[in-house]
Structure 1
Amino acid sequence: MINKKNLLIISPIILSLFFLGGLYIGANLDYLVSNPTDPGFKKLKQVYKELTQNYLNKDDIIFKKAEYGAIKGFVDSINDQYTYFMEPDETKDFLDSINGSFEGIGAEVGLNEDKQIIVIAPLEGTPAQKAGLLPQDIILTINETSTAGMTLEKGVSLIKGKKGTVVNLTIKRENEKEPIIILIERGLIKIPVLKLNIINNSIAHIKLFNFNENASEEFNKVAQQILSLGIDKIILDLRYNPGGILQEAVEIGSWFIEKGKIIASEQYSDGTLKNYNSLGNGQLANLNLVVLINKGSASASEILAGALFDHNKAPLVGETTFGKGTVQVLKNFNDGSTLRVTVSKWLLPKGTSINKEGVKPTILIKMDKIPKNDKQDLQLQKAIEILTK
């Protein structure tokens, strides 16, 4: 459990931070079918009885596999791309991916509404970014294996691999007529937090790559450095930031938003709201600020950008964000399997839901590929223009 913090979650290759506490339930197939809580389970019980009593090769029945299959079928029937069941091996692979460093390509992936595996964001300095993967790229094949009907966990396991090996991805990209083949050499992935660059001795450009459990601590150091230098102009760059821990976003937002003001609200299925308010640092509240966003900005980064805009703290430059506005928790079972389940959705301070809609920029500037340098970065150059005019 990570200090009982609420988390914003996206399915990962390399990064997702979950609420890791949970419910330990010793479920098994026999219990499930003999104690149905809904009439729909009666047929499952009948099928179970028929197979165990009359199937020719009863010894071939693997009950654990049958249990997992029944659970996955039930979960998949909900048709929520963020709610799914993971077997023990899949759970282990997932947990290994959030321990700071691992071997792979360094991209965050998820499922879209059509259950296709898509790129959410390539991370800074990783093989995925260097190879040219972009947010919203749809992965059609992995090493020539079609991803049609493939689970996210299976896709992740195929993309991951040892440093120095190569993965072959065929992707479908917006505005491209033909699929694109991208070869990526896997490497050792170290998850960065942020990077500070001082532009023209007058503008602090903060690239915030994620909201892991060290993000606010690292941001505090950078904020103190900015204040000590007397800089009064900030570009907060949330592009390609796939999210993370909500509390980290709240603490960072508290540098810009006055104490007590709402940064985000969590709405549950019964309509009740839980507000997350600024903690009131506010030392950067009166500085000139521009926020950069794009299609790779998701979850906690969308909430922070939306909160800053709702409180009139900054214009938003770039493209509409990913639109991931629901909350998942991870429920642990005693055999090592887990259930990831959507429990609520996020609202911005003015009550707007970002789910499937994203946060729209106040100044739209599209970029079809990652720029090679700052001069080619049209979104960054626009932010500099706003702060210097």
Structure 2
Amino acid sequence: MEQQLRRRSWYLGPMVVVALFMGVLIGKGWERTGHATETYEELKTFSEVLTQIQKHYVEETKVKDLVQGAIRGMLATLDPHSAYMTPEMYKEMQVETKGEFGGVGIQIGVKDNRLAVIAPIEGTPAYRAGIKAGDFITKVNDEPTKDLTLMDAVQKMRGPKGTKVSLTIQRDGVQDPLVFTLVRDIIKIESVKSKVIDNNIGYIRLTQFQESTAKDLSRVLKQFREQKIQSTILDLRNNPGGLLTAAVDVSEQFVGNGKLIVYIKGRDGRKDEYFSRTKEPLDDSPMIVLVNEGSASASEIVAGALQDWGRAVVVGTTTFGKGSVQTILPLGDGSGLRLTTAKYYTPKGRSIQSTGITPDIIVKPQPTTVAKATEKEEANPKAKPSTGKESSSQSKTPDDPTRKNGAGGSNTGQDPSAEASLEDDVQLQKAVELLKTWKIFKELRPST
């Protein structure tokens, strides 16, 4: 059973667009005769409505458009993370998990019933502009996002390289809306970045959980062992999630073999458990995990597992709280459904949905400031500085898809990245301080 479960690729992330892979569920709703009869009666009503629209609506309609609209409406009554994907959207999602796609570079989700930025992707147009985790997107190209589904919002932000899209952002602590005109680009994601701090602290930043993330991480850890690195910082800040299997494979490299990493539970109450399976010897050197409000889904699985097993001290701010599981269900015409089918839990049974992972040590980032608009922005009276990326998260993996601001962006204060500076990053400073103190206490010996 465990082996079968590990072969499924489920996407849990808050990235409505950057997600996959496929755990195909078999529908159970048609097994009972009573339920089938009830469904048939409701479908008769649906057929009648469809017929009346075709006969009497003021303009000519296409059956395909009406049916797809009805499907979208049906899924919208469930939760923000369940959605219908056209054949084109379904193919796009498959491409994205490989780490490359077109857009402006933000992961989006729903928080407090509003369209929220989970995290910008490092090095993308939105990132360079200064869009930040926690920003709320109120308009896309002057169209309010209030009634948009996540998938619709993502599609409006996607587009060919070189085209433009305007995002209106509401940011906590900033009174006026921030309006950004972003030029779309091809988004390439490097999921693992690393460096060595103070000659003996290994720093690893995971920007997203992709198919290659665990293998790339393993290569970095091997290099650290060869360099005799004595402690590790795993930076999951602004990591919006990705593949569930990648989260499990990453976690097992730190907790050792045979440990429960996460389990998921659906409405039937059955638990599907994911255990670590590694042949590598356990490295129990001191470890810090950095998280913030942009850490979601797969990131929360990893942080929760390492916290529950006492493997690492979690430092930062409370995570996003994306604890539901979306399954990608392919349909016969090449389209697909992303359907919420379960919730995931840490090894100790904690549900992360809506609550997130609370760090062992709370360290808030430095206050954010908004810099003066660039010449280009000043030339456009509507444009104001902001922060950004474009994609949403969820699916039966932990949902699709972290820094320094590029020229022409705003000053976002502290910005976690593989190039993070100890001078500017108070959360990273705290992690380094804790690891140095850890070493000092370990070397203490009682006097004789």
TM-score (norm 1): 0.88
1-structure distance, mates of 2:130, 2:149: 24
SS in 2 for 1:220: helix
Q: Deviations over 1:53-104 (max 9, x none)?
A: xx346992421122112222222222x1111112334334444444432332
338-347 vs 103-112, which deviates more?
103-112
Structure 2 CA distance for partners of 1:314 and 1:41, relative to 1, 3 Å: same
Deviation at 1:50, TM superposition (A): 4.2
SS in 2 for 1:345: strand
Please say if 1:279 is aligned against 2:322. no
Corresponding residue for 2:184? 186
Q: Deviations over 1:190-223 (max 9, x none)?
A: 1111111100111000001111111111111111
Corresponding residue for 2:424? 376
SS in 1 for 2:290: strand
1-structure distance, mates of 2:56, 2:228: 80
1-structure distance, mates of 2:11, 2:90: 18
Corresponding residue for 1:107? 106
Corresponding residue for 1:68? 68
2-structure distance, mates of 1:277, 1:221: 21
State whether residues 36 and 42 of structure 1, in contact with CA within 8 Å, keep that contact through their aligned partners in structure 2. Answer: no
Corresponding residue for 2:440? none
Where does 1:148-167 land on structure 2 (aligned, <5 Å)? 148-167=146-165
Where does 1:1-389 land on structure 2 (aligned, <5 Å)? 4-10=7-13, 12=15, 15-19=18-22, 37=39, 39-51=41-53, 55-56=55-56, 60-78=60-78, 80-114=79-113, 116-281=114-279, 283-367=281-365, 368=368, 369=412, 371=414, 373-374=420-421, 375-389=423-437
Q: Deviations over 1:125-181 (max 9, x none)?
A: 222222111112111112222222122223222222333343221111123222112
Amino acid at match of 2:424: Q
Amino acid at match of 1:62: K
SS in 1 for 2:139: strand
Deviation at 1:47, TM superposition (A): 2.5
What is the number of residues matched between the two proteins? Answer: 375
Amino acid at match of 1:152: L
2-structure distance, mates of 1:145, 1:69: 19
Deviation at 1:280, TM superposition (A): 4.0
SS in 2 for 1:255: helix
SS in 1 for 2:147: coil
Q: Deviations over 1:236-294 (max 9, x none)?
A: 01111111222222222112213222111111211111221122446453111000001
State whether residues 254 and 282 of structure 1, in contact with CA within 8 Å, keep that contact through their aligned partners in structure 2. Answer: no
1-structure distance, mates of 2:53, 2:159: 39
Structure 2 CA distance for partners of 1:321 and 1:56, relative to 1, 3 Å: closer
2-structure distance, mates of 1:247, 1:214: 11
Structure 2 CA distance for partners of 1:135 and 1:211, relative to 1, 3 Å: same
SS in 2 for 1:256: helix
Amino acid at match of 1:81: P
201-210 vs 326-335, which deviates more?
326-335
SS in 2 for 1:382: helix
Q: CA RMSD in A?
A: 2.6
State whether residues 13 and 97 of structure 1, in contact with CA within 8 Å, keep that contact through their aligned partners in structure 2. Answer: no
Deviation at 1:23, TM superposition (A): 7.1
SS in 2 for 1:129: helix
118-127 vs 205-214, which deviates more?
118-127
2-structure distance, mates of 1:370, 1:156: 27
Amino acid at match of 1:63: V
State whether residues 23 and 332 of structure 1, in contact with CA within 8 Å, keep that contact through their aligned partners in structure 2. Answer: no
2-structure distance, mates of 1:227, 1:156: 41
1-structure distance, mates of 2:179, 2:248: 39
Amino acid at match of 2:197: I
SS in 2 for 1:235: strand
SS in 2 for 1:156: helix
State whether residues 14 and 241 of structure 2, in contact with CA within 8 Å, keep that contact through their aligned partners in structure 1. Answer: no
Of all paired residues, the percent bearing the same amino acid is 36
- Higher RCO structure (Cα 8 Å, ≥6 apart): 2
Amino acid at match of 1:221: R
State whether residues 164 and 186 of structure 1, in contact with CA within 8 Å, keep that contact through their aligned partners in structure 2. Answer: yes
TM-score (norm 2): 0.77
State whether residues 22 and 332 of structure 1, in contact with CA within 8 Å, keep that contact through their aligned partners in structure 2. Answer: no
Amino acid at match of 2:11: L
Amino acid at match of 1:189: I
Structure 2 CA distance for partners of 1:13 and 1:258, relative to 1, 3 Å: closer
1-structure distance, mates of 2:267, 2:16: 29
350-359 vs 69-78, which deviates more?
69-78
| Ranges in structure 2 where 5+ consecutive residues have no aligned partner | 28-35, 369-411, 438-448
